Structure 1
Amino acid sequence: MSTITTRDGTQIYYKDWGKGQPVVFSHGWPLNGDSWESQMFFLAGHGYRVIAHDRRGHGRSSQPWDGNEMDTYADDLAELIEHLDLRNAALFGFSTGGGEVARYIGRHGTGRVAKAGLISAVPPLMLKTDANPGGLPIEVFDGIRAGSVADRSQLYKDIASGPFYGFNRDGAKVSQGMIDAFWMQGMMAGHKSAYDCIKAFSETDFTEDLKKFDVPTLVLHGDDDQIVPIGAAGLASAKLIKDAKLVVYPGAPHGLTDTHKDQLNADLLSFLQR
């Protein structure tokens, strides 16, 4: 396996396919780099070098007790980018991974970055606060934590078979394969790591990070996202990022990297070629 060892001794797994301009993918919770495989397969076939890592505590990476928060996630990403000496890279983040990309740019700048993309991403802030009335109440995330402690295997099955892919909507074409893949990736994550990550993706405020974006940025979101509602996420991020390109998929759920993969692949390629 391809891995790097971070400064605190954590092993980060990554896969690196193809040749050309580097495109780096950051995944969502509780998944791993495999969740981007449709986009990686497509873009590698169109002349790009595609790289996806498993966030610490997820997938094939180490499961450290500490460091399961956005600053460390972003620093791990920076170490990977520096280890591979990537330049002129495009960074795409899905859901929690969008937070990782935002915090990376906030902490490490865009010296190695040519473009960025936030796909169904959590920034600027998921949690409802006085300053963020459109966010989700803390009880939502407390419920996810409680479900994780009670029976996280069932929690992942419930999320995947319901709101994540929109399979709870009338007329939805349910894919048992997608449900199984989500569950399998979730169960590869460390229990403590996945638990801590709930706080990281829900309570981290990325507002100041987004204001530091100074590269062409794609903000893409489904308007039927039941996990990360578009109003407090994609629409708000597009307003904070200078000259962001906002693309809304009508009726699309959170997990559009799978449900709308052909459309997304075409849009990512178009954005990269622009």
Structure 2
Amino acid sequence: MKTTKNDTLTSKNGHSEVNGIKMYYEIYGQGKPLVLIHGGGSTIQTTFGRVIPMLAKHRKIIAVELQAHGRTSDRGKDSSFEQDADDVATLLKNLNIDKADFFGFSNGGTTTVQIAIRHPEIVDKIILGSALLKRSGVPAQFWGFMKQAQLSNMPKELKEAYLQVTPDSNGLQIMHDRDAKRMVNFKDIPDELIKSIKVPTLFINGDQDVVTPEHALEMHKLIANSKVAIIPGVHGEYIEEITTLKSDSKEADYVIPMIESFLDKPETKQ
């Protein structure tokens, strides 16, 4: 682990041996742990880089990069949300963190759901940003697009960010192909598993998101101890995800306090 400084934050970063991969992580701030899990094709910085300084004022932030993403190695096997969930749980064990809150965006939200299902003992609260739990949660044409997915169609901001931290075009192709194949083969998470999630849950979705607002509302009904917030904007705009920066949105200025309020509110027994 090494310590680095940027303009305002000191972070620790390193790699940990996790289930056959070298998993990259960064730690910011002090306080109760909040684990950040990025979206598909992304790095820590492309998903959360604009909001980590806000979140780290009051929390210990543990941001991770999943299999084949960013600075984390590939294990030579297809990616799965279940394996990603197990990888995050193992990393936290390696870091001696017994319990944490989790904020997953997009694919990272689906991974967070699997963490809550598979490792409930390590979870206090979860935030699901634009998380897909059922195939019906996106427009039908999404699935046809994923079948035709090519690296050339990947947002250039995400490609450039990967190559900036891992200058390996072959690794970039592997990441893309693993993410695309996982989405093509995506299967609904069964209702009974979703209903088994008992921890306080906050769904966040854009009103013009890839994942439909209706999906967030439907999944909210399946998790008894959950809330939902529909925010104006596109996929990830509410956390200033890198591909949305051209909109010059300031939504994070009120979304992050909303998230902090949810995390800080004492849990009421159901």
Q: Which range, TM-score by smaller chain?
A: 0.7 to 0.9
| C-alpha distance in structure 1 between counterparts of 2:213 and 2:264, whole Å | 26
Instruction: Give the 3 Å change call, closer, same or farther, for CA 93–209 of structure 1 in structure 2.
Output: farther
1:86 alignment partner, one of 94, 97, 107: 97
Q: Which residue of 1 aligns with 2:177?
A: 195
Shift of 1:230: 2.0
| C-alpha distance in structure 2 between counterparts of 1:190 and 1:254, whole Å | 22
Q: Which residue of 1 aligns with 2:197?
A: 213
Task: Give the TM-score normalised by structure 2.
Answer: 0.79
Shift of 1:108: 1.6
5+ long unaligned stretches in structure 2: 1-12, 241-248, 266-270
Shift of 1:24: 0.2
Task: Give the TM-score normalised by structure 1.
Answer: 0.78
Question: Where in structure 2 are the equivalents of 1:1-274 lying within 5 Å?
Answer: 1-7=13-19, 9-34=20-45, 35-45=47-57, 47-109=58-120, 111-122=121-132, 124-125=133-134, 127-128=135-136, 135-137=138-140, 140-148=142-150, 152-157=151-156, 180=157, 182-185=158-161, 190-201=172-183, 203-207=186-190, 208-225=192-209, 227-232=210-215, 234-249=216-231, 251-256=232-237, 257-258=239-240, 259=249, 260-274=251-265
* SS of residue matched to 1:231: helix
Q: Deviations over 1:61-96 (max 9, x none)?
A: 002320411111111011112111223411111000
Shift of 1:156: 1.6
Q: Identity rate of aligned residues, in percent?
A: 27
Query: How many positions carry a matched residue from both structures?
Result: 234
5+ long unaligned stretches in structure 1: 129-133, 158-179
* SS of residue matched to 1:38: coil
Q: What stretches of structure 1 move > 6 A for 4+ residues in a row?
A: none
Q: Which residue of 2 aligns with 1:168?
A: none
The Cα RMSD (Å) is 2.1
More contact order relative to length (CA 8 Å, sep ≥ 6): 1
| C-alpha distance in structure 1 between counterparts of 2:36 and 2:77, whole Å | 23
Q: Which residue of 2 aligns with 1:176?
A: none
